[in-house]
Structure 1
């Protein structure tokens, strides 16, 4: 059966699209909310995008892109970087005013050569399909991505003051299970409210009760109260 050049072209495009799509990791569902916990990650699968964010009081230089992406290269999974800096806002304002003053007072001179840039550290994880932690940039931090991919592992830890009962740390993994992409359960609760926890058992048949009144407004009868009541009743029996 003869195939026209146009049909052959569409067939090749379909095969190429299927090959590329097969190499792209599947996206994870929305991450369940965990209150009062900090979330970190040590490794990121291919196609993950992260963004640097300047610390308060610092601002990125104009036209600098804060994003990086985990891509597959010949040496394995690596982050692709672009030049990014966070500078002190006060110094940037002072430098801008100084340059403006120089331009108004001095004739135009020879163009300045750009300052030499330091070599960046591009050390990556040895895992083939996972990038390690991104390089540190002064006065900047990394934000977790909004979209995750299969294979992502996130670590959770209760914030200070929200760790009344263990476990206070745990992890979730995005994986495919029975044809469905899920996040594994997180076996931890972060809260500073003691009423959220079950009473502690002190021994056989003994339970540590809360010192607060019960919901009905009555207080439990203690052994001392019972003895005092008996001592009050005995004299009346002989009257």
Structure 2
């Protein structure tokens, strides 16, 4: 238990040095056995379109869009096409884990960007989150949450550094013993931001 605490403390301390003061948070904190959703995408957030297997980015074509406020109208910048068939692609493509498994859910809330427009042969992934952006965490189907049952992490900026606020969500499997269920699940994949109380 003490080793886990020291590991997490070291991870958080290393994140302090990596914090950025440009008003953006990058990859969010991941909790094992949890999913992350956004219901309102804030102005300043950025999405990258990733080409599907067998396709590559068109040379000179940007694959980013940004949620902007254009004279009072909040919307995503647009892309007509980003990817083209890759003639060099092999029939056996390696399967990759999503780089940023954050789902944007439909929202009718005015003043925020919705789901990015579909672009053929691509998958959109949020890569930068504006200060104030909230991410909602929920345990995956088949896993139990120890109170609280869901949690929200917010991108904040203080003293020129951006960070995700601390989460208290713990997702466990029914088959684990009571002792195992009380141990914290390690945070993974936290690049560019750190968590504080």
Normalised by the size of structure 1, how large is the TM-score? 0.45
CA positional deviation for 1:73: 0.8
Q: Is the 8 A contact 1:174 1:184 kept in 2?
A: yes
1:197 matched residue in structure 2: 181
CA positional deviation for 1:33: 3.6
Between 1 and 2, higher relative CO (CA 8 Å, sep ≥ 6) is seen in: 2
Equivalent positions of 1:1-239 (< 5 A) are: 26-28=23-25, 31-89=28-86, 127-128=110-111, 130-145=112-127, 147-159=128-140, 163-165=143-145, 169-175=150-156, 183-192=164-173, 194-195=176-177, 196-197=180-181
Quick one: structure 1 residues 131 and 53, their matched pair in 2 at CA, closer, same or farther if it must change by over 3 Å?
A: same
Unaligned runs of 5+ in 2: 1-21, 91-106, 183-197
1:102 matched residue in structure 2: none
- Larger proportion of strand: 2
SS in 2 for 1:142: strand
Quick one: structure 1 residues 171 and 189, their matched pair in 2 at CA, closer, same or farther if it must change by over 3 Å?
A: same
CA positional deviation for 1:136: 1.8
CA positional deviation for 1:52: 0.5
Taking the aligned partners of 1:92 and 1:184, their CA distance within structure 2 comes to: 41
SS in 1 for 2:67: strand
Unaligned runs of 5+ in 1: 1-24, 94-123, 199-239
Quick one: structure 1 residues 32 and 126, their matched pair in 2 at CA, closer, same or farther if it must change by over 3 Å?
A: closer
Q: Over residues 30-67 of structure 1, what are the superposed CA-to-partner deviations in whole Å (9 max), with x where a residue is unaligned?
A: 74342233323232222222100122233333332110
1:12 matched residue in structure 2: none
CA positional deviation for 1:137: 2.1
Quick one: structure 1 residues 182 and 91, their matched pair in 2 at CA, closer, same or farther if it must change by over 3 Å?
A: closer
CA positional deviation for 1:69: 1.0
Q: Is the 8 A contact 1:42 1:133 kept in 2?
A: no
- Larger proportion of helix: 1
Q: CA RMSD in A?
A: 3.9
Normalised by the size of structure 2, how large is the TM-score? 0.53
**Number of equivalenced pairs:** 140
Taking the aligned partners of 1:68 and 1:190, their CA distance within structure 2 comes to: 33
